Every structure is written in C-alpha cells, then in structure tokens.
Structure 1
Amino acid sequence: MILRTLRLRSFRAHDETTLELRPKVNLLHGANGVGKTNVLEAIHYVCLTKSFAASNDRYVVRQNAPYLEVEGLFEGVRSTETRVRMVYVPSEGKKVFVNGAPLDRLTEIVGMLPVVVFSPEDHALTAEGPSERRRFLNNILSQARPVYMDDLMKYRRARKQRNEVLRQYKKRPSPPPEPLIEPWTEKIISIGSRVIHRRNAFLHTFREYLVDAYERIDAVAEEPTIEYDTIGGFADGTELEDIEETFRAELERKRDHEHQRGTTLVGPQRDELVFRLDDLEVRRYGSQGQHRTFAMALKLAQYLYLTDRLDTQPILLLDDAFGKLDARRTDVFLELLLSDVIGQSLITATRRAPFAHTIDFSRPMHRSMHVTRVDGAARVTPETHSEEGDTVNGGASGESDEADRQAAQSPATETQQT
C-alpha cells in the first residue's frame, strides 16, 4: 500500500498543506516544533481515526479553526485507488468518507489502511505499566482482525455497566442481587473470554515474528520472548470453553473483593505481557540499550506480522526514531527501509545529513522535504537533488543547511486500555 498524496487543513501547525509522497523513503526535516510530527499524526488519523500523540481530538484542531480535515489518496488498497477523507468538527464529532461515501461506523476503516508508528514514546512499551503493552496488543489485533476490535468495544461497554452496578452497592452491606448483576457478568465472561482467546492465539504466532525482528536489528545472540499473564495462565491452544470456565470461577472467588472495591477485578483489562531477553525480565533489569532494541523489535515484528496477515505492506511512520540510536543500529535500520522488507516510510528528523550517505534522494522512489514555519503556519517544501546528492532547488537549500548547523549544536529531541 502506498500513500500518494496527503492534504491537511487546520491540522495542528498546518493551515493548508498538500504533500506528494514517494513509494519508499520520505524524509521530513527541519527545526523542532515546526510541524513535522503533525504530518505523521495526520496519516495516523486518516488510517485509524485517531492520533498517536494526543488523547483528545480537540487538541489537534488548529487554533481558532472550526474544524480539521485530512485527506489521503492511497494505491494498492483492495487493488484499487482509494481516496479517504476524515473531517472532525468539535461540536459534531468525526466522519470518514471513502471514495466520497460516508462510513456508517468509524471502525470500518481500521485494518483497511494499516500503519505502524516508531516514536521516542516506544520506550514506555518495555519500561512502564501494563496498560502500554495492552494498548500495543490491541493496536495490532484491531488492525489485523476487525472482529477483535468489535469484541473489545463490546467488552468495555459491558464492563462499564457492571462496574456501575458494583459502584452503587459498594457502601451497602450486601453485594448486588443476582438478577441485577448476573446479565452483565455473563456478558463480560462471554465477550472477555473471546478477547483473551484471541490474544493467546495471536501471541503464540507473534513470538516467531519477534525473534525474526530482533535478529534483523541486533547482532547480540539474545533470545526475546513474550509471556502472557492472564487469568488462569492458559497454555497455547487453550479452548474457549476452558477460558470461560476459569473466568467464571475467578469472578466467584473475588466476589467479596469486587463488592468492597466497587469495580470488576477479573478480565482482560488486567492482562500483562512480560518481555524477556533469555531469562532477564526487560522491564525490571534491562539496560537502556536493551529497552530501546526490544521496543524497536516489537514495532518491526508488528510491521512484519501485519504485512503477512493483511497481504499488504503497512505505511511505516518513524517520528524522531533515530535520535537515540547508535551508528550501527541506525545503519541497519536504514538498510531495512531500503530493502523489500519495508514498503513506504515517512521519517521526521531535525537534520537531513545523517540520512544522505545511505539514501539517494535523487532517485524517484525517495523524497526529502524541508519543513519550516511561515507566518505562524507550517510549510513543507519538496527538495530536488542532483545525482551527487546536493540540494539544487526548492528554495530550501540554504535554510536546510542552516537548520543542520543549528541542530548539530543542540539535541534532536522533538517529541510531542483494556
């Protein structure tokens, strides 16, 4: 799958921006805070209807603008050219149009336009709490299997209703009566067991992709593994009926605790993924380098898995992903971007220079673009390169060189649940 053109209107720093993209490496470079990450965020919006950098859609609308709009023209989606437009009006919500026709549900777009993001925040995957790892798990499975996302949303709604019943009886001497809570209990058992069953089956397969990804980016002979910590500690291949039986028994065992706490204490919302290198638990004992490499391997494994599962290569978004990598890992990953393993990618960075020795931007399959601020709005200027790799037009050569010199004097640090 290839994103040919992208149009942003009133999106963060962008007032009105149109980009023509190339099928392999697309580099967006410029000073911090000019709007580079906004472009990647907009692609994520049009592919998955949400940001990877903001928790509230209102923060994404350009200041004083009544709405935002993102439109992308894609090739290779179900073997056709597909135009997707997403509009968000704060007072009305989001709407998605595919080739001019509105979608009945926003979730219909998820999985149609697969996307994988590398960012500095990936460190949270291995270093922070279980919710980060569940979010990662949900992102992959929702893109790969729409029925999983449907169950996940149904489970959240049913758990919310059950928690409301438990909350109402929290300070009462007796737990909720069975006729009141039992329907919601049965719903979370039925739906939650399907979520756990699919997670368990997925992780059995995903482990192989993780080993492959780790070997591609690290020369150290450490074996990465994932352990799925859920109710019952189910082995691979556990039947759905066995999960339901264990789920029901655990709810019964924690009935008094749920009454005291006023919330549901059993289910996939409490799942955890434990990452190890050989016998070392990465979260507790991994070095900074091991954390960084493991997180990169997870995202690369996600890319490889979605490619196989969906029979198309996702768009790869790399937001300041090379800032903390050593030279060897940087070179290894850039070679991957140029190989057939990876399709289209978009990179943000403060400087063009670190990429120039590996990526020939004079070739028609790649493009570099200089991002600046003009009159308070982001401007993206495509650059044309000679065969020797020099920037020869686009009005950005001198500005780019100056940005490179300034960036070299300061760190490149642009960053932005069930």
Structure 2
Amino acid sequence: MIVKSLVLENYRNHTNTRIVFSDRFNIIYGDNGQGKTNILEAIYLCASGRSHRTSKDSELIKFGCNKFSITAHILNSSSLDKDIEIEYYDNQKKQIKINEIPIKKIGALMGNLYAVLFSPEDLFIVKQGPTERRRFVDITLSQIKPSYFYNLQQLTKILKQRNTLLKNINANPKLMDTIDIWNIRLAEVASSIIIARRTFSKMLSSLAESQHNYLTDKSEKISFDYKCSFQITENNEKEQIQNQYIKNLEKSLSRDIILGYTTIGPHRDDYDILVNGKSLKLYGSQGQQRSAVLSLKIAEIELVKKETNQYPVLLLDDVMSELDNNRQKYLMESIKEVQTFITCTSIEHFDNLLSGKSNFYKVVGGNIQNSL
C-alpha cells in the first residue's frame, strides 16, 4: 500500500501543501514546530479517522480559518487507485469521501489505508496504564477488521446506557427489572471484542517474539499477553464467554449501582508485556523498554501484512533520535518493503541507513521549502 500524494488545506499550520511521495522513504525534516508531524498526522487521520494527538477536530483547523481539508491519493497492492478526502467545518461533523463518494459511518473508512505509527510516545504502551495498551490494540484491530471497530462503537453506546440506568436505580428501584436486557446486549458485543483481542494478542506475541529474539541476540524473550477483566480460558468460545460475562455482571451489580458505572468488561481489559517472564513496566530498563516497543511495532507491521496481504505505510515521528545505531539499523532492515515516512530535525545520519529511492522534504513554517 502506497500513499502517492497528499494535499493539505488550512490544516494545522499548512495553508496549501501539496506533496508527491516516494514509494520507499520520505524524510520530512526541519526545526521543531514547523509542521513536520502535521503531515504524518494527516496520513494517519486518513487511515484511522482520528488524530493521534487530539480528540478535537476543531484543533486541526489553521488559526483564523473555519475549515480544513485533506486529500490523500492511495495505491494498493492490486494497483487500484483511491482518493480519501476528509473535510471539516468548525462545529460540524467530519465529512469523509472515498473516490468522491461520501461515507455515512467512519467504520467504512477502515481498511482503505493501513498505517502504523511509531513515535516516542509509544513508550507509554509499556510505561503507563491499560488505556494506552488497549488503544494500541484497538487502533490496529479496527483497521484490519472493520467489524471490530463497529463493536467498539456499540460497546461504548451500551455502556453509556447501562451506566445511566445504574445511576437511576436508587431513585427508581423498578428500573432494576430492565438490567438483564442491558447485560445480555453488553455480553453479546463484549464477547466478540474479547475473542478478537485474544486472537490478536496471540498473533502479535508470536511475531514480536521472533523479532525480539533477533534484536536481542536471543538473550530476551518477549510476550504480549491478553488479560481479560474476568476469568476466561484460551479455549472458551463466544457463547461461553458471553455467559461467563453475564454471571460476572450479576455478581458485581451491587457495587456497580453504588459506583454508578460498570466495573467489569472489555473497557477494563489489560495486556501484560513480559520480558523473560517479568513485567517490563516494573522491571525493564529504559533500553529494554525501547527494544520491546520496537519489536512490537515491527510485529504490528507484519501482522497487518499477514491479515490483509498488504503492507501498511509506516509513520516514524521523530523516533530515530530515540534509538541507538544498532536499533536504527535493525528497524531499517525490517521495513525494506514498506513505504516509510520519517520526521526528524537533521538528515545527516541517514547516509548509511536508507536503501532504495528516498525523497527529502524540508518544512519551514508549514511550507515545503525544497525536495532534495
């Protein structure tokens, strides 16, 4: 999968930026605050429907303007061209078109462009709480399985409705009669999400183990293990998980009513990242954590390829400076067939890293000043 070109109009600090990209490496360089990351963010937005930096679309509009637009021209592995257009007017819903045809739901965007983002903030996958790890899994799974994205949306809606019911039960005890309906609806959606996460984690863990084995010269073994918020076994099927979840919802009902929200379910899931059987978050050094995230990201690329038969585009946002020479070389060797976008402040250290056609773009104040 290739992003052939990108047009940004009134997006962040870009007034009218038009770029034609190389099929291999695209080095976007310049001083901090000039708009390099905005280019990667726009590509990511075309893949996932969301920014990785903000949840507010209004923040993406150039100061003093009332709308932005993005147009990405995509070429997939079957040599089929596709245009993805995203337009947003202040205080209105995003308008997304694929080949000039509006889509009604953001889920229809998923699968048109696969993108893997790697930035220094990805260390949060290891260092911070379960929200970051769930987000990492959910974004990739949503791209390769649009039905998963739909289930996540349904989960959010049902949880909101069940939580409202929990808050109102004390004032109106008769509402207790309707809780079973919401438990069943929640369990139906949750069981599908749980099965998808369990399968994904097993695949990612296997791929990451192979990558990490090579990266650490067989001195470390990594695993990425799914932790469901209630007890299931590896062999539990959908109906069994559904029934088990309903039982757990019934057990936690009294606590849920007191707290006013649902305390158990996919929104409480986590993932254990272990190196040599020990928690990477608790016992891993900074170097070990960086190596682990690198292995996970390369495994993510391979997983997308395995599931979709297409490589995703890779967005490396100021990540090269975070890696030592050995990790930089390993990363470059691992992405030989992947179109890659790299932001950085200096291009001096790329002489011995890049193989294949490479385009260089200098960004100054939201403008592409030159392409080497």
TM-score using structure 1 length: 0.85
Structure 1 residues 139 and 37: alpha-carbon distance in aligned structure 2, compared to 1, 3 A threshold: same
The residue identity in structure 1 corresponding to 2:124 is A
Q: Deviations over 1:274-313 (max 9, x none)?
A: 1100121011111111111111211111111001111111
Contact 1:77 1:113 in 2 (8 A): no
Q: Which residue of 2 aligns with 1:315?
A: 313
**Count, aligned residues:** 372
What is the CA–CA distance in structure 1 between the aligned matches of 2:220 and 2:173, rounded to whole Å? Answer: 50
Task: Give the superposition deviation at 1:185.
Answer: 1.5
The question of 1:369 aligning with 2:361 is answered: yes
Q: Which residue of 2 aligns with 1:63?
A: 63
What is the CA–CA distance in structure 2 between the aligned matches of 1:31 and 1:231, rounded to whole Å? Answer: 44
Q: Please state whether the residue corresponding to 2:321 is helix, strand or coil.
A: coil
Q: Which residue of 1 aligns with 2:367?
A: 379
Contact 2:26 2:342 in 1 (8 A): yes
Contact 2:169 2:175 in 1 (8 A): no
**Further displaced range: 282-291 or 193-202:** 193-202
Contact 2:230 2:264 in 1 (8 A): no
Q: Which residue of 1 aligns with 2:322?
A: 324
Q: Which residue of 2 aligns with 1:73?
A: 73
Q: Which residue of 2 aligns with 1:351?
A: 346
What is the CA–CA distance in structure 2 between the aligned matches of 1:78 and 1:154, rounded to whole Å? Answer: 33
What is the CA–CA distance in structure 2 between the aligned matches of 1:240 and 1:47, rounded to whole Å? Answer: 29
The residue identity in structure 2 corresponding to 1:345 is T
Task: Give the superposition deviation at 1:24.
Answer: 0.5
Contact 2:58 2:91 in 1 (8 A): no
Structure 1 residues 279 and 153: alpha-carbon distance in aligned structure 2, compared to 1, 3 A threshold: same
Report sequence identity in percent.
Answer: 27
Task: Give the superposition deviation at 1:16.
Answer: 0.6
Gaps of 5+ in 1: 385-418
What is the CA–CA distance in structure 1 between the aligned matches of 2:348 and 2:218, rounded to whole Å? Answer: 28
Structure 1 residues 267 and 382: alpha-carbon distance in aligned structure 2, compared to 1, 3 A threshold: same
Give the number of the structure whose alpha-carbon radius of gyration is greater.
Answer: 1
Contact 2:169 2:176 in 1 (8 A): no
Task: Give the superposition deviation at 1:176.
Answer: 5.9
Q: Which residue of 2 aligns with 1:389?
A: none
Structure 1 residues 382 and 22: alpha-carbon distance in aligned structure 2, compared to 1, 3 A threshold: farther
Structure 1 residues 34 and 289: alpha-carbon distance in aligned structure 2, compared to 1, 3 A threshold: same
The question of 1:250 aligning with 2:248 is answered: yes
**Further displaced range: 71-80 or 260-269:** 71-80
The residue identity in structure 1 corresponding to 2:114 is P
Q: Which residue of 1 aligns with 2:167?
A: 167
Q: Which residue of 2 aligns with 1:193?
A: 191
The residue identity in structure 1 corresponding to 2:233 is A
Q: Deviations over 1:326-385 (max 9, x none)?
A: 111112222333x23xx100000000001123226xx6x210111112xxxx1113433x
The residue identity in structure 2 corresponding to 1:101 is I
Structure 1 residues 215 and 319: alpha-carbon distance in aligned structure 2, compared to 1, 3 A threshold: same
Q: Calculate the aligned-residue CA RMSD, in Å.
A: 1.6
What is the CA–CA distance in structure 1 between the aligned matches of 2:345 and 2:174, rounded to whole Å? Answer: 58
Q: Which residue of 1 aligns with 2:201?
A: 203
Q: Which portions of structure 1, spanning 4 or more consecutive aligned residues, are displaced by more than 4 angstroms?
A: none
The residue identity in structure 2 corresponding to 1:289 is G
What is the CA–CA distance in structure 2 between the aligned matches of 1:240 and 1:120, rounded to whole Å? Answer: 37
The question of 1:24 aligning with 2:24 is answered: yes
Structure 1 residues 216 and 143: alpha-carbon distance in aligned structure 2, compared to 1, 3 A threshold: farther
The residue identity in structure 2 corresponding to 1:371 is V
Q: Please state whether the residue corresponding to 1:16 is helix, strand or coil.
A: strand
The residue identity in structure 2 corresponding to 1:351 is S
**Further displaced range: 226-235 or 98-107:** 226-235
What is the CA–CA distance in structure 2 between the aligned matches of 1:48 and 1:244, rounded to whole Å? Answer: 29
Q: Which residue of 1 aligns with 2:54?
A: 54
Structure 1 residues 286 and 75: alpha-carbon distance in aligned structure 2, compared to 1, 3 A threshold: same
Task: Give the superposition deviation at 1:100.
Answer: 1.2
Q: Which residue of 2 aligns with 1:182?
A: 180
The residue identity in structure 1 corresponding to 2:361 is M
Structure 1 residues 232 and 50: alpha-carbon distance in aligned structure 2, compared to 1, 3 A threshold: closer
Gaps of 5+ in 2: none
Q: Which residue of 2 aligns with 1:142?
A: 142
Q: Which residue of 2 aligns with 1:109?
A: 109
The question of 1:235 aligning with 2:230 is answered: no
What is the CA–CA distance in structure 1 between the aligned matches of 2:245 and 2:153, rounded to whole Å? Answer: 19
Q: Which residue of 2 aligns with 1:300?
A: 298
Q: Deviations over 1:227-248 (max 9, x none)?
A: 2211443232321121112101
What is the CA–CA distance in structure 1 between the aligned matches of 2:190 and 2:354, rounded to whole Å? Answer: 47
Q: Please state whether the residue corresponding to 1:312 is helix, strand or coil.
A: coil
The residue identity in structure 1 corresponding to 2:269 is D
Contact 1:230 1:271 in 2 (8 A): yes
